[in-house]
Amino acid sequence: MVSTLPAHPVPPGLEAYAALDKRLLAAVRGINILSTVSWPASLEDRMIEAYGKGEYTLPEVSYKKPDLSEVRKELAAIESEAGDGDPIREYLRRTAESWRIAAEMLEAVGTEGVTAPSIQLYGKPGDVIHGSHYSNLDAARYFVELSDELGADLADDDIVTNISSELLSKDLTKVLDDFFGQGVIAVEVDPDLTAKAAAGATRIRLRGGIRFSQYDRHQLLNHEAFVHSLTALNGREQPVLASLARTSPRVTATQEGLAVFAELMSGAIDIARLKRISLRILALDMALHGADFVEVYRFFNRCGQSVADSFHSAQRVFRGVPLTGGSAFAKDNVYLSGLLDVHTFFRWALKERRMDLLRYLFAGKLTLGDVMSLEPYFHSGAIVAPRWLPPWMRHVHGLAGKLAFSLFINRVRMSKVEAETLSAGI
């Protein structure tokens, strides 16, 4: 098993930073965002059966509100003590701030008060994509329209779901043992898990009672294991910032964007997957503009999703908030915006011949900005380079080839191609 202690000693002069980071980790130990806003699997099963019969009523969901007042006080104190003027101080301050906002959000669970802090943490569909004049909503509409034009139906006849949770668990265990070492990451079947899978540093859970496809297997390995688990394990190696082993709210967009980018680079994603991600953003926008749970469910169903998938997709939008419209849990906004930001960052790093920055991105749970601002500490060894890299990152020439192609092809203007094609009579 991987030790929970960092393999490297704290460099002289940085002990105060390490102590403040330790306080931060201790303070947030009781903050569990997704479990606080999740719905019971038994409720989902009952409602899916009813919706399958055309019986559309709003689910009745109750939440247990946590008391995080003392946690918020400690996080505010850490923010104040961290201050600014140094990249590590800035990292600690911003990380503590994001956890404090998350605590405020969770204390409002079950009310419309969740919406504003969730948008503060994860953004909203109308936000402008960095480096462009387009919004996340524009991008979502583009990918949905492109998917429809290409005929990429959400139900692919070539995808066969014939792998049980138990069989996939054994299969993934062998692959991960070979990659990380014997017993470093356990793969378990969890009958109460609402998502298909969830990953931590040393454990990946699979939802019990369902079947998976080879496509699911490929996606789980590259998204969950080789990004979420891998960056958590590398974060545990850090001598000063042990918090790099845990996904703080402020790094969610980069983490999820990197995970989806990993699917893209490894061939584990297709246009239908991009459509599903994009539909969630359109649904978020609908909910924020007044659509209730049933209306959002019907939207997903009209777009080709099954009854169960439509229910689960709508449920993601309404986690922790009232179901009557006007409120939403905004986390699904980050998947597409994060992907676009990460893709742009990789292209920029290739253009600038900065592959070192791309490797640093896997040293823990970092934002793209962190990688840039903390670069001096990578050079000094205060932040150690990643022990593990995803398989697709190990083949630099292959990665560079894919990104170089996208860099060049973006110079081609489709309007000009269309005009030349028409004039040539092709």
Residues 6+ positions from 420 with CB-CB distance below 8 Å:
none
**pLDDT for the residue 414:** 42
pTM greater than the 0.75 cutoff: yes
**pLDDT for the residue 421:** 46
- Interaxial angle between packed helices 334-351 and 252-266, expressed in degrees from 0 to 180 and rounded to the nearest 10: 70
Residue 9: closest CA among 239, 244, 242: 239
**pLDDT for the residue 324:** 97
**pLDDT for the residue 416:** 47
Distance (Å, whole) CA 81 – CA 249: 20
Residues 6+ positions from 16 with CB-CB distance below 8 Å:
none
**Dihedral sign computed on CA atoms, order 21, 25, 27, 28:** positive
Distance (Å, whole) CA 159 – CA 31: 38
**Polymer length in residues for the chain:** 426
- Bridge partners of 186, per DSSP, are 203
pLDDT tens digit at each of 426 positions of the chain? 445 556 678 888 899 999 999 999 999 998 999 999 999 888 988 999 999 999 999 999 999 999 999 999 999 999 999 988 899 999 999 999 999 999 999 999 999 999 999 999 999 999 998 877 889 999 999 889 888 877 655 454 445 678 999 999 999 999 999 999 999 999 999 987 777 888 888 999 998 888 898 888 998 999 999 999 999 999 999 999 999 999 999 999 999 999 999 988 887 777 788 899 999 999 999 999 999 999 999 999 999 999 999 999 999 999 999 999 999 999 999 999 999 999 989 988 888 889 899 999 999 999 999 999 999 999 999 999 999 999 988 766 666 666 665 555 455 444 443 454 455 444
- Both tokens of 117, joined, read 């802090």
189's enclosing H/E stretch is strand 186-190
Distance (Å, whole) CA 393 – CA 96: 30
**pLDDT for the residue 407:** 53
Q: How many other β-carbons are positioned within 10 Å of the β-carbon of residue 195?
A: 13
Half-sphere exposure of 180 (CA within 13 A, CB side): 29
**pLDDT for the residue 83:** 87
Distance (Å, whole) CA 64 – CA 123: 25
**pLDDT for the residue 184:** 95
